[in-house]
Amino acid sequence: MQFTNGTVQEFILLGFEVGQLQRLLILTFFTLIYMLAMAENITIIILVVLDTHLARLPMYIFLSNFSWLEICYLNTNIPRMLLDLALSNKIISFSSCFLQFYIFCSLVSTECFFLSSMALDRYLAICHPLRYPQIMSPNFCYVLVTASWVLGFLAYIVPVTLISKMSFCGPNVIDHFLCDHGPIMALACPPIPEAPIISQIFMDVVVVLGNIVFVVLSYGSVIVTLMKNSSKGNRVKSFSTISLHLLVVTLYYGPLAGIYVKLGVADPHVTKIVTLCYTAITPFLNPMIYCLRNDQMKEALLRLQKRKAVFLKSKIDSEKKRKGRGNI
């Protein structure tokens, strides 16, 4: 264990304390999940970027940026976890640990703001349909996207900085597969100052709880509007769309609330499982939830395939003509 000025300079990520066979199974399973999740989210981004129709629609502007966020989420934690499972390389430097901690917290808060932006989009589309095209223009969508990223990465600068200034005089074993608030704070040496704890709790309440309240109020208003004003056919179709959004919100905020808005000390094994849910499983499931029953995404995929077929045909034809001229 290395010390500088009484503070450890490296941590050990304990990860999953399982046997060799279980370690291999976990490694195989999450490698597959990681590859599939990356492929799904990259496909969504490519479809939205290449399809001029989807690229103008607010929902798909949010969806493509949401997929990019999920890719960042995956690559912040999962490759390191897989490497530790494969090589048992559990040592992480002090600076790398806090960099991962900061990026992880920032991505958590950014996703909270993204889900609120998407809830606002659905609220305006259903509760104020006449004003929706004017309010939710592509430019305004990009403003919301930029604001989500900026606010997300500004939110936890102060708490993470204050926690990094605390004294860590040993032990240096983090009972987790990533550097997160709870396990890091458990290693801080007394006396523990109040400022880092207060700032962290304040940001958790403002960012996580605040966005949960906004999302609940938005979708609550949407459901009330649908019950009052929609015909039976439109109501079923709208509820089908909203239910997918609510499923994504529940998959994310359910585990997150269990980690960050909890009473007492959570079991480390439960914490690891719950963290895996919203860092690996949720980015894998979200593209399927949004796109499986989405006719516009399927149509965009067909258009892309047709464009690819036309491009390949024109390339083959031009190659044949070139060879034909060469034989004359």
Coil, strand or helix: which one is 92? strand
Confidence of residue 109 (pLDDT cuts 50, 70, 90): very high
| Residue with the larger pLDDT of the pair 202 and 229 | 202
Strand order in the sheet with 173-174: 91-93, 10-13, 173-174
Report the pLDDT value the prediction gives residue 258, as an integer from 0 to 100.
67
CA distances from residue 302 to 47, 52, 170, 231, 299 in whole angstroms, order as listed: 10, 14, 58, 31, 5
Cβ contacts of 167-170, under 8 Å, gap ≥ 24: 167/6, 167/7, 168/7, 168/8, 168/94, 169/3, 169/6, 169/7, 169/8, 170/1, 170/3, 170/8
| Residue with the larger pLDDT of the pair 291 and 10 | 10
* Burial of 239 from C-beta contacts in 10 A (0-12 / 13-18 / 19+): middle
pLDDT-wise least confident of 89-98, 125-134, 249-258: 249-258
Report the pLDDT value the prediction gives residue 5, as an integer from 0 to 100.
45
Predicted model pTM: 0.85
Nearest to 152 by CA among 262, 76, 94, 222: 76
Whether residue 183 contacts residue 174, with contact meaning beta carbons closer than 8 Å, is answered with yes
Cβ atoms within 10 Å, residue 42: 14
pLDDT at 217 over 90: yes
Report the pLDDT value the prediction gives residue 194, as an integer from 0 to 100.
81
- Interval 138-197: pLDDT, tens: 999 999 999 999 999 998 898 898 888 888 877 888 888 888 888 888 888 888 788 877
pLDDT at 203 over 90: no
- Interval 127-148: pLDDT, tens: 888 899 999 999 999 999 999 9
Report the pLDDT value the prediction gives residue 325, as an integer from 0 to 100.
62
- Please tell me what DSSP assigns to residue 156: T
Confidence of residue 234 (pLDDT cuts 50, 70, 90): low
Whether residue 107 contacts residue 182, with contact meaning beta carbons closer than 8 Å, is answered with no
pLDDT at 31 over 90: yes
